[in-house]
Amino acid sequence: MFFKQISVFLENKTGRLAEITGVLADNGIDIKALSIADTNDFGILRLIVDKPAEALTALTASGFRVRETPVVGLSLEHKPGGLHRVLKLMEKNNIFIEYIYDFLSAGTSETATIVAKLENQDEAVAKMRKLEIKFSD
C-alpha cells in the first residue's frame, strides 16, 4: 500500500536523466514507476524502485540531491472509467491529491496501479479504507 518514493532534483540539461538511470542500472536497481516534473532550469524525477534504500544511497553517493517520501499505491479496475470511479469517491470525501502518476506494468491485467501523494496522507488512507478503495501491494 505504501511505497517509498525517491525524488531526485536535477538540472534540466541533456544527459542528466541518463546519468541517474545509469547509477540505478549499475547497482541492479529496477525502476517500477517514474514521473518527471520540470521547469526551464530544473526537474524533479520521482521514482518507485525495487530497492529504495539502495537507490537512495547510490544516488546520494553519485552527487544527486535525493529525498525519500511515502506515497500510496492504489489498485483500480483496468477498464474505461476505473480511474474516474476512484477519483470521484475521493472528491466526494474530501481526499485531496497532491500528485499522481502511473505504475509501470507489463502485459495486460484486470487491474492498474497508480501512485498518489495525498494531502494528510494517513487520514486520507483511513477514509479510503472505509470507502473500500483498493490498495496495491
Series of mean pLDDT values for 10-residue runs along the chain (137 residues):
93 89 98 89 92 97 96 91 93 95 74 92 94 88
Please state, in angstroms and rounded to a whole number, the distance separating the CA atoms of residues 72 and 82. 17
Q: Can you give the CATH number for the domain in which 54 is found?
A: 3.30.2130.10
Whether residues 20 and 31 fall in one domain? yes
Q: DSSP letter string over 64-116?
A: -EEEEEEEEEEEEESSTTHHHHHHHHHHHTT--EEEEEEBP--S--SEEEEEE
Please state, in angstroms and rounded to a whole number, the distance separating the CA atoms of residues 61 and 115. 26
Under DSSP, the state recorded for 59 is H
What pLDDT shows up at residue 121? 93
Whether residues 85 and 27 fall in one domain? no
What pLDDT shows up at residue 38? 83
Under DSSP, the state recorded for 136 is -
Domain count, the chain: 2
Whether residues 81 and 118 fall in one domain? yes
> In the structure grid, which three cell numbers stand for residue 80, read together?
474505461
Question: What pTM, to 2 d.p., does this model score?
Answer: 0.86
Whether residues 50 and 65 fall in one domain? yes
Whether 59 is covered by a domain: the verdict is yes
Q: Name the 3-class secondary structure at 49.
A: strand
> In the structure grid, which three cell numbers stand for residue 87, read together?
477519483
Whether residues 24 and 76 fall in one domain? no
Please state, in angstroms and rounded to a whole number, the distance separating the CA atoms of residues 125 and 4. 16
Is the torsion defined by CA of 85, 91, 95, 96 positive or negative?
positive
What pLDDT shows up at residue 108? 60
Whether 135 is covered by a domain: the verdict is no
Whether residues 53 and 10 fall in one domain? yes
User: What is the phi/psi pair of residue 130, to 5°?
Assistant: -65, -30
Domain that holds residue 88: 71-130
What pLDDT shows up at residue 106? 59
